[in-house]
Amino acid sequence: MTKRLSGVDRDALGAAATAVGEPPTKQKMRGKQLFHWMYHRGATDFDTMTSISMDLRARMKAAWDLRRDKIATEQISVDGTRKWLVELEDGAKVESVLIPEDDRGALCISTQVGCTLNCSFCHTGTQPWVRNLTAEEIVGQVLIARDVLGEWPSPSEGRLISNIVLMGMGEPLLNYDNVVKALKIIMDPEGISISRRRITVSTAGVVPMIGRLGAETGVGLAISLHAVRDDVRNELVPLNRKHPIADLLDACRTYPGASNARRITFEYAMLKGVNDSPQDAKELVQLIAGIPAKVNLIPFNPWPGTIYQVSDDATIAAFAEIVNKAGYASPIRVPRGQDISAACGQLKSDSVRMSAKDRQPA
Ligand code: SAH
């Protein structure tokens, strides 16, 4: 069995060339060449790498391969949203969602199989926790999406995938090292080249990792807030018991790089009778005072078996108005891909945790 290189970084690519007999003095240069072919050109076959000698290509091919994870199913919504169920090498599955706009598009990717947070209104929380994704599997979701769209070589403008949001299955900051490693590959200007300004990481509030994320990557931050009082938030986002609202907002106040040009997004799912009163809206603007922020109001997306209901349109509009009058942009998110369960909080794959024994290859 050959070993897979798709999704690895430049250093690992250089080392892979050295491992098949290239002199160590050329390691850096080979890493750079391979990186270009894989992440700028989207190569899935060493034979296309014409700037590399045929001899080295043959040796690489004998030892390594460039295969991607497979798309198990693709669903396309009436609104154009596309959801891919990606099957990983061990059979676990995660979902990625492409949300196209007229002249751009956001790719929403997953960072874990399942999730440990069990937010009461989120469908992913009802599936068993399986495992973290590797950095390669996180990068892989971008490669696969670009393959489907034929978006190679890496375009510099008019991209179908212009933005990336880490808002799929899982909590990115509980898989911190792999997420940062993947982001560095995705942002690299010699490869996929999606800039930190077009990347947003969404967190339910893993407070100790927030500042580090900003310092190490400079990406945009979204906070899944959803409530303005700890008693309510403890119910919706149980992680709040460990990292309460005040601590979370402190981390936002000091988030590296936050400014009026680069606001922190607060996500707020509108849940009927739970968090949607005018009083909640007023407390919200007091809480975030002084933070360069915008508030994304997400009408709750229902899923089978949930105890929650979406707020009425008029209630959402009134909430938005209070936030807006206080000086914060408060767009109401139009749900995308609801008919294919691709909207926020609807992602769920049927992966179940396997014992270590079951996971051994036959
Ligand atoms: N764990 C991270 C990444 C998931 S992002 C986080 O919590 O931020 C998914 C976003 O959708 C989060 O803001 C989440 O709170 C929100 N969400 C979850 N379930 C939802 C639902 N049923 N309707 C609307 N939004 C939901």
CATH number of the domain within which 245 lies: 3.20.20.70
Angle (CA) 203 246 320, round 5°: 70
Q: What pLDDT was estimated at residue 2?
A: 62
Mean pLDDT of 145-171: 94
Domain residues for 48? Answer: 3-65
Catalytic residues, by residue number, are 95, 344
Q: What's the 98 CA to ligand 1 centre distance in angstroms?
A: 16
In angstroms, rounded to a whole number, what is the distance separating the alpha carbons of residues 119 and 90?
A: 26
Give the per-residue pLDDT at 252.
97
Residues 108, 46, single domain; the answer is no
Q: Which atom of ligand 1 is nearest to the CA of 303?
A: 22
Residue 220 has pLDDT above 50, yes or no: yes
Which one of 40, 65, 90 terminates a domain?
65
Confidence of residue 257 (pLDDT cuts 50, 70, 90): confident
Q: Are residues 42 and 134 in the same domain?
A: no
pLDDT at 213 over 60: yes
Residue 7 CA to ligand 1 centre (angstroms): 26
Helix or strand run (H / E) with residue 220: strand 220-224
Q: Are residues 249 and 338 part of one domain? A: yes
Q: Which string of b and e fits 76-100 if b means at least 16 CB within 10 Å?
A: ebeeebbbbbbbbeeebbbbbbbbb
Report, as an integer, the average pLDDT of 124-129.
87
Same domain for 80 and 48? no
- Both 57 and 79 in one domain: the answer is no
Shared domain check, 245 and 181: yes
pLDDT confidence of residue 339: 85
The structural domain count of the chain equals: 2
pLDDT score of 359: 42
- Low-confidence winner among 25-29, 86-90, 303-307, 316-320 (lowest mean pLDDT): 303-307
Looking at the structure, tell me whether residues 53 and 138 fall in a common domain: no
Question: Looking at ligand 1, which atom is closest to the CA of residue 167?
Answer: 5
Q: How many CB atoms lie within 10 A of CB 51?
A: 7
Asked if the model's pLDDT at residue 358 lies above 70, the reply is: no
What is the best residue among 116, 179, 202, 233 to mutate for testing ligand 1's pocket, by most ligand atoms within 8 Å of CB?
202
Q: Does residue 327 carry a pLDDT above 80?
A: yes
Domain boundary among 65, 87, 105: 65
Give the Å distances, CA to CA, from 42 to 18, 39, 55, 284.
22, 5, 21, 44
Q: Please tell me if the CB atom of residue 206 comes closer than 6 angstroms to any atom of ligand 1.
A: no
CB of 267 shorter than 6 A to ligand 1:
yes
Asked if residue 141 has its Cβ within 6 Å of ligand 1, the reply is: no
Q: Using CA positions, which residue lies closest to atom 15 of ligand 1?
A: 224
pTM for the full predicted model: 0.94
One domain, residues 85 and 220: yes
The protein residue whose alpha carbon is closest to atom 17 in ligand 1 is: 345
Q: Is 171 in the pocket of ligand 1 (CB under 6 A)?
A: yes
Q: What is the mean pLDDT of residues 118-125?
A: 92
Indicate whether 103 and 200 sit together in one domain: yes
User: Residues 156-166: pLDDT tens digits?
Assistant: 888 999 999 99
Closest C-alpha to ligand 1, atom 4: 167
What pLDDT is stored for residue 357 in this prediction?
46
- C-alpha Rg value of the chain to the nearest Å: 21
Average pLDDT over every residue of 11-30: 97
Q: Same domain for 354 and 328? A: yes
User: Is the beta carbon of 266 within 6 A of some atom in ligand 1?
Assistant: no
Taking alpha carbons only, the member of 288, 291, 280, 352 closest to residue 318 is 280
DSSP per-residue letters across 105-153: EEEE--SEES-SS--TT-SGGGSPP-EEPPHHHHHHHHHHHHHHHT--S
CB of 202 closer than 6 angstroms to any ligand 1 atom: yes
What is the mean predicted confidence (pLDDT) over 326-353?
83
Same domain, 61 and 77: no
Which range among 7-21, 50-64, 80-94, 117-131 shows the weakest confidence by mean pLDDT?
A: 117-131
Q: Tell me: do 152 and 55 sit in the same domain.
A: no
Average pLDDT of the residues in 329-340:
89
Q: Which two tokens stand for residue 62?
A: 């004998």
Average pLDDT, the chain: 93
309 Cα: distance to centroid of ligand 1 (angstroms): 15
Quote the pLDDT of residue 258.
87
For residue 296, how far is its CA from the centre of ligand 1 (angstroms)?
11
**77 Cβ closer than 6 Å to some ligand 1 atom:** no
CATH number for 38: 1.10.150.530
Assess whether pLDDT exceeds 80 at residue 50. yes
Span 273-282, pLDDT tens digits: 999 999 999 9
Select from 23, 45, 65 the last residue of a domain: 65
